[in-house]
Structure 1
Amino acid sequence: MNHDDLIYDWNRLPPSHDYAATTVELSDETLRDGLQNPSVTDPPIEKKIELLHLMADLGIHSADIGLPGAGPRAYEACLALAREIADTGLPIDVTLAARTVLADIEPAARIQEESGLKLEVATFIGSSPIRQYAEDWDVERILDATRGAIEFAVSEGLDVMYVTEDTTRSRPRTLARLFSAAVEAGARRICLADTVGHATPHGVRRLVRFAKDFAAGTGEPVKIDWHGHRDRGLGLANALAAIEEGVDRVHATALGIGERIGNVEMDLLLVNLRLLGTHDHPIDQLADYCRVTAEMCGIDIPYNYPVIGDDAFRTGTGVHAAAIIKAMQKGDRWLEDCVYSGVPASLVGRSQIIEISPVSGLSNVRHWLSHRGYDADDEALCTAVFRLAKKCNHTLSRGEIESEIARVQAERT
């Protein structure tokens, strides 16, 4: 049977939005925006280096490795990471964050000189009316800061991405003036930032179209980035909308860690792009990427976290398990992976797991026993375990099941 005949895909897009024909880069913000989350721990440099290598292993194109102007510790960490990339030839581009002030950009220029690595600096400044009012800024002041910072960065040989914070709540006329000033000063990449997670997919599409029209009119090779947060739970959907509208690069973080409740989840973005045919690099090390992030930041991965959580490919439900077991019996790994899962477990190096719970059928019990070397045709044994499950209010642990097996076996001797 042709696999394409077994799933009707309502997700197919018209040719103008075909993911398989889309080229989009991914920028990992875990070591910068991710570490700004107030509940995480800033890890030692060895762990940051380990994560950096995993980013490259997953085919992530670039990484924001920090804001070196934040202080000596931040500077040393950024320098060490840049040197690691330069010394090992790691295939990943590097971005350093900076406010639109010379005091932040100068450390980035020094890191470029000391590491010998070509760097991009992401100069950011608030652009929305609410931010201007709170800061007592006017547009002219923002324009002056923009021009001064970018001209200095360009003079130091840095590539420049200009980030308008809170872009999704900024006026079109203001954005046009700021973008124009940035490009005239030498920026060749502009970043649309949903800083407080305000946007909906519809708003993202409108904003990206606006930015693309602007870029097309500059006569310069200006690229467009999307940087989203998930305050309304729309981070991943917004990132996919931005990609469909043709942005050049999308920012995300491991496990979605970041300011407040965080950013677009890089791990989930990778899974979705792989399934949509855009990201062709293997992602079987995704679990390691998430595990290292969780360990180094001192956070837990929820059991029900998509794809990576303990329960992502685990079921104790009789109907679900029966279908998976029948698929297993056909000897087709793809069928086993997809009959009751929207993400193939094998895509990320995992497998389907059948448990025994109060809502299980006998097929769950037989499968569990056979996969652990017990006689699945032993009716008395199967019935005993099945009855135990029906008396409980939870999924049985291995210890509980084996205790019941031992009881049955003891009664026979």
Structure 2
Amino acid sequence: MRDPARTVSHSEFIHDWNGRGAAPSPAFPVEINDETLRDGMQATAVTSPTVEEKRGLLELMQHIGVSAVSLGMPAAGPWALEEVVTLARHIREEALRLEPNCAARTLHSDIVPIVEAVQRAGQPIVVHTFIGSSPLRQCAEAWDLDFILRSSTAAIDFAVRQGLEVAFITEDTTRSTPETLELLFRAAVEHGASRLVLCDTVGHATPAGTRALVRWTRDLVERLGSPVKVEWHGHNDRGLALINALVALEAGATRVHGCGLGIGERTGNAPVELLLLNLKLLGWIDQDLTRLVDYVLTLAQVCRVPIPRNYPLVGEDAFRTATGVHSAAIIKALERGDDWLADHIYSSVPAGEFGRRQQLELGPMSGMSGVRYWLMVRGLQENEQLCEEILRRAKSAASTLTEEEVWSIVQAHGGQGRSCA
């Protein structure tokens, strides 16, 4: 039998099948571009935060290790330009470690406001210029490939002449032909684009398709002998945005895009918080994420976005259990003073590393150990009659008892203590 006092490594307790056949870690440092303030705002049910609230989100983005941030599309109107200037100036004045970028169609008139924002804010901004490239988009817009090519190179040329860094984005990349993409990518690189963004605009890609496209693009970049970086921007229409972003990094993307809570048009984008969560657990990043929950809760509040109770990491039920066997195991670990064991015995996500904690509740599946623990952590003296009554009520309830319901039982038995509600 194992001696509980013996010091052991945590790896002794977990055989990780995930390592079998797993891809190697990314060849490049992992970067994330947070699109919440631009692409995320295209969600029809989202309330746009105030400028002050957006400034607060920028500071939280830095705390969680986001590399770059989209500030919006200043060509959308005078209000959009003023907002971009304000946010870019905030990044400069507060010395935030965020690389700002702005979206623009491949039009001179869309890039001019970005030039103005740079000049007024005194802060470099990367131009993210985009145009549709798939046969579907060409058909719908009545474009031919020559028009797309001319429009793209003219936009890149203009931005480069203004001293701006350019990321070239092909909308609907994942449904575009390799012949079209090679023509456009070659031209973009030759005209000075420093980044190529592969865009899964309608969430069409599977993990296999993502891997194939990213690897194909990396091969092209290597053949061109260019230091151009490859980025991935994925949507969630098939529920694959998160896994596709991870696969893109494994396949050679240097940066992936996402939005807080996965907000965005239709079913949204890759969720930034779950990207960071998985990158941390995979060992692909090593940064303090104890403010990650703060970022998500703040975003949910200012954008009026409800968080499902069972949402990973930040949902109300993410670390709650009222099951007797599960609660008993967690309690045994806590009684031994082993927080690591308590955080892992019935969770693959260690709550403490992300600023949360395990929560033990009482309900139809609870046992007596759970009742005694509930009373103990609230500084209450237990007695057999009180414990039996709480367990009886929990067993007969249709759902987990609320804090108030358990306290009413305690008070009916003359109990006093401190609430941890």
TM bucket (normalised to shorter chain) is over 0.9
Segments of structure 2 that go 5 or more residues without pairing to the other structure are 1-7, 416-421
Question: How far 1:255 moved relative to its partner?
Answer: 0.6
Candidates 219, 222, 241, aligned match of 2:225: 219
- Take 1:29 and 1:248, find their aligned partners in 2: how far apart are those partners? 16
- Take 1:118 and 1:346, find their aligned partners in 2: how far apart are those partners? 37
State the TM-score, normalized to the length of structure 2.
Answer: 0.95
- Take 1:352 and 1:76, find their aligned partners in 2: how far apart are those partners? 44
Query: Which residue pairs with 1:102 in the alignment?
Result: 108
Query: Which residue pairs with 1:396 in the alignment?
Result: 401
- Take 2:69 and 2:21, find their aligned partners in 1: how far apart are those partners? 32
Candidates 15, 18, 25, aligned match of 2:25: 18
Query: Which residue pairs with 2:237 in the alignment?
Result: 231
Query: Which residue pairs with 2:278 in the alignment?
Result: 272
Question: How far 1:287 moved relative to its partner?
Answer: 1.3
Amino acid at match of 2:407: E
CA deviation profile, 1:193-228 (whole Å, cap 9, x unmatched): 111011110100000111001110112211000000
User: Percent identity at matched positions?
Assistant: 50
Say whether 1:69 aligns with 2:69.
no
Matches within 5 A, 1:108-123: 108-123=114-129
Could you say what secondary structure the match of 1:375 adopts?
coil
Asked if 2 retains the 8 angstrom alpha-carbon contact of 1:384 and 1:408, the reply is no
Query: Which residue pairs with 2:15 in the alignment?
Result: 8
Candidates 404, 411, 420, aligned match of 1:406: 411
Query: Which residue pairs with 2:320 in the alignment?
Result: 314
Matches within 5 A, 1:220-299: 220-299=226-305
- Take 1:401 and 1:99, find their aligned partners in 2: how far apart are those partners? 58
- Is the deviation greater in 399-408 or in 104-113? 399-408
Amino acid at match of 2:13: L
Candidates 33, 47, 52, aligned match of 1:46: 52
Asked if 1 retains the 8 angstrom alpha-carbon contact of 2:28 and 2:254, the reply is no
Question: How far 1:408 moved relative to its partner?
Answer: 2.8
Amino acid at match of 2:32: L
State the TM-score, normalized to the length of structure 1.
Answer: 0.96
Say whether 1:27 aligns with 2:33.
yes
Candidates 108, 124, 130, aligned match of 1:124: 130
- Take 1:226 and 1:39, find their aligned partners in 2: how far apart are those partners? 25
Point out 4+ residue stretches in structure 1 off by more than 4 angstroms.
Answer: 13-16
- Is the deviation greater in 322-331 or in 229-238? 322-331
Could you say what secondary structure the match of 2:284 adopts?
coil
Query: Which residue pairs with 1:170 in the alignment?
Result: 176
Question: How far 1:406 moved relative to its partner?
Answer: 2.3
Query: Which residue pairs with 2:96 in the alignment?
Result: 90
Amino acid at match of 1:195: T
Query: Which residue pairs with 2:63 in the alignment?
Result: 57
Asked if 1 retains the 8 angstrom alpha-carbon contact of 2:323 and 2:366, the reply is yes
Question: How far 1:271 moved relative to its partner?
Answer: 0.8
CA deviation profile, 1:49-75 (whole Å, cap 9, x unmatched): 000000011111110110001101111
- Take 1:6 and 1:213, find their aligned partners in 2: how far apart are those partners? 41
- Is the deviation greater in 70-79 or in 324-333? 324-333
Candidates 119, 140, 148, aligned match of 1:142: 148
CA deviation profile, 1:323-369 (whole Å, cap 9, x unmatched): 11111122111111011001000011111000000111111111111
Asked if 2 retains the 8 angstrom alpha-carbon contact of 1:256 and 1:263, the reply is yes
Segments of structure 1 that go 5 or more residues without pairing to the other structure are none
- Take 2:150 and 2:267, find their aligned partners in 1: how far apart are those partners? 33
Alpha carbons of structure 1 residues 15 and 363: separation in structure 2 relative to 1, 3 Å:
closer
Could you say what secondary structure the match of 2:268 adopts?
coil
How many residue pairs get matched? Answer: 408
Asked if 2 retains the 8 angstrom alpha-carbon contact of 1:22 and 1:278, the reply is no
Amino acid at match of 2:93: D
- Take 2:297 and 2:221, find their aligned partners in 1: how far apart are those partners? 39
Could you say what secondary structure the match of 2:97 adopts?
coil
